[in-house]
A = this chain, B = another copy of it.
Amino acid sequence: MPRYHQLKEILRERIRSGEWKPGDLIPSERELSETYRISRMTARQAITDLVNEGVFYREQGRGTFVSRNKITQQLIKLTGFTEDISARGQHPSTQVLSAEMLPADEFTAERLRITPGELIFCLQRLRLADGEPLAIEFSHLSFKGCERLLQENLEQQSLYGVLESKFGLPLMEAEQELEAGLAGAEEAALLKIAPGASVLFTRRTTYTDRNQPIEYAKSVYCGAKYIFYTHLKREQLFSS
């Protein structure tokens, strides 16, 4: 194991153990290099890595400090409903309202980069958390062999889990838009809320690791029961 990697582990362990707390000053690069009998540049490489990971931050002329939080490490997570609700400590369940092959309309076709009229797998599900309706999800999927999804039990299995394990299609990234709105009569009935109650509309295009869109999904979340978290980062690239 390379020395700078060993030093990284030592430094991380000092934070884990509570020896260093957020805001604390850590030993200088020269001091670390003497303590561990390595060159300053090697110690610096370990620290630089941890700065890039958000563990430390440097101040020229003052020293290197433990970051106050780990926000840069908490990347935005692309999860399906199942993982999402589980992470919130609730029990997710699903009712499949419909599952069939239908021709793609023009708007959906554009999102999935296919030609309108092509047959795609359309899935409408009611999503529940601890038995209470939370959202209606309307997914449209298009890929070679997607009709085999008709044979899957999607009430007991995560759609994303099936795509990855049985179809070899890991979903890696998504673009999503959110909009506040009011529940219509049909949505209200399914979600067991009053018509005109607040809801959160989401529209999401999900991609594999090859930038190929696989799914376009529209959802209606019950406004009172769902908070959406996100993490924003300043654009750095193309700084000119």
Partner-B contacts on A (CB < 8 A): 9, 12, 16, 52-55, 57, 59, 67-73, 75-78, 113, 170-182, 196-200, 204, 207, 209-212, 221, 223-224, 226-238, 240
Contacts and interface: CB of A to CB of B under 8 A. Distances in A.
A207 B228 CA distance: 19
A53 B234 contact: no
Contacts of A68: 113, 210-212
Most chain B beta-carbon neighbours within 10 Å: one of A12, A182, A224: A182
Nearest to A236: B53
B57 A233 contact: no
A47 to B, nearest CB: 14
Most chain B beta-carbon neighbours within 10 Å: one of A71, A179, A182, A232: A232
Nearest to A201: B180
Given A207-B71, A238-B12, A231 B198 contact: no
A229 B100 CA distance: 29
B236 A179 contact: no
Contacts of A16: 238
Given A173-B233, A211-B71, A227 B178 contact: yes
B71 A173 contact: yes
Tell me whether chain A's interface is mostly helix, strand or loop, or mixed: mixed
A228 B71 contact: no
Given A69-B211, A75-B236, A237-B75, A198 B174 contact: no
A172 B211 contact: no
Contact of A231 (B67, B176, B196, B227): B176
A16 B239 CA distance: 12
Contacts of A197: 182
A136 B211 CA distance: 37
27 contacts: A9-B240, A12-B237, A12-B240, A16-B238, A54-B211, A69-B209, A69-B211, A71-B173, A71-B175, A75-B235, A76-B230, A77-B234, A78-B232, A78-B234, A170-B234, A173-B232, A175-B232, A176-B229, A176-B231, A178-B178, A178-B229, A178-B230, A179-B200, A180-B200, A180-B226, A182-B223, A230-B230
